[in-house]
Amino acid sequence: MKKSTSSMVFTALFAAIICAGAIISIPIGPVPIVLQNAFAVMAGLLLGPFQGAESVALFLVVGLLGLPVFSGGRSGYAVIEGPTGGYLAGYLLAAILAGWILKKAAPSTKKQTMIVIICATVAGFACIYIPGIFVLKQKLDLTFKDALLKGLVPFLLGDLIKIIALVPITIKLRPIIARYFHPDA
């Protein structure tokens, strides 16, 4: 399938946005607070499941190749293989699931749209936390309770704020992006 120029531009743009999310990285333990998780979910919501995943994959490849795009300006295979690697893998899953839910639900009213976006966004964040917590538990030899206390609980309020912010952003930007290309067409 031949990709349009606008499709490639949006893929690269969202990869760059996810990379830029590393600029704000607040270390609070083994897992820092970042905006990258919200941007990965947003890529799926706005570009669709496959193109959103392509943006996340491009971000991951760039980080693997040594550009400092992971939290705290880190890069390389050691980050992917480290305690936060599950969260990074979850970004890919999050873009796919959030985009897929929004695409399949095809809401028709504004209220339905808002509900579907909330559900898709929450599901996307869950896709980040599930592998993230399990990898964190394994890599740091934590109990499941400790992994939850270090890898989930400190982020719940901030991620709730991110989810609340993503809903109006998605509602506003989806029609604008759709003018330039059809996500996952």
What's the CATH number where 121 sits? 1.10.1760.20
Please check the confidence at residue 163 and state whether its pLDDT lies above 90.
yes
In a domain, 11, yes or no: yes
In a domain, 153, yes or no: yes
In a domain, 144, yes or no: yes
pLDDT band at 183 (very low <50, low <70, confident <90, very high): low
Residue linked to tokens 């976006």: 117
- Read off the DSSP letter of residue 74: B
Kindly state the tokens that stand for 44: 């799926």
- Position 108 scores a pLDDT of 77
- Position 138 scores a pLDDT of 98
How many domains is the chain built from?
1
CA 33 – CA 54 distance, rounded (Å)? 23
pTM: 0.93
Give, for 137, the enclosing helix (H) or strand (E).
Answer: helix 110-139
Please name the amino acid found at residue 184: D
- Read off the DSSP letter of residue 184: T
**How many residues are present in the chain?**
185
CA 65 – CA 76 distance, rounded (Å)? 6
pLDDT, mean over the chain: 92
Q: What is the arithmetic mean of pLDDT over 7-35?
A: 90
In a domain, 107, yes or no: yes
- Position 2 scores a pLDDT of 58
Q: Are 14 and 52 in contact (CB under 8 A)?
A: yes
Q: Are 184 and 50 in contact (CB under 8 A)?
A: yes
In a domain, 180, yes or no: no
In a domain, 54, yes or no: yes
In a domain, 179, yes or no: no
Residue 49: give the domain boundaries.
5-22+30-174
Least confident of 2-11, 14-23, 29-38: 2-11
Q: Are 22 and 70 in contact (CB under 8 A)?
A: yes
- Position 23 scores a pLDDT of 87
Count of CB atoms situated within 10 Å of the CB of 14: 26
Give all strands (DSSP E) within 15-147, no chain letters: 25-26, 33-34
In a domain, 75, yes or no: yes
